[in-house]
Amino acid sequence: GAVVSQHPSWVICKSGTSVKIECRSLDFQATTMFWYRQFPKQSLMLMATSNEGSKATYEQGVEKDKFLINHASLTLSTLTVTSAHPEDSSFYICSASWTGRDTQYFGPGTRLTVL
Partner 1 sequence: AQSVSQHNHHVILSEAASLELGCNYSYGGTVNLFWYVQYPGQHLQLLLKYFSGDPLVKGIKGFEAEFIKSKFSFNLRKPSVQWSDTAEYFCAVNAHNYGQNFVFGPGTRLSVLP
Strand locations in the chain (E): 4-7, 10-13, 19-25, 32-38, 44-51, 57-58, 67-73, 76-81, 90-97, 105-106, 110-114
Nearer to partner 1 among residue 61 and residue 86 (C-beta): 61
Residues 95 and 34 sit within 8 Å (Cβ to Cβ): yes
58 near partner 1, judged by CB under 8 A: no
Binding to partner 1 by CB under 8 A, coded x per residue (else -) over 92-111, reads -x-x-x----xxxxxxxx--
Min separation Cβ 16 and partner 1, Å: 29
- Among the listed residues 49, 80, 82, 113, the single contact to partner 1 using CB under 8 A: 49
Query: Alpha helices of the chain — where are they, by DSSP H?
Result: none
The answer for residues whose C-beta is within 8 angstroms of residue 105's C-beta and 6 or more apart is 2, 3, 4, 25, 95, 96, 97
Binding to partner 1 by CB under 8 A, coded x per residue (else -) over 6-45, reads --------------------------x-x------xxxxx
Residue numbers at the binding site for partner 1 (CB under 8 A): 32, 34, 41-46, 49, 93, 95, 97, 102-109
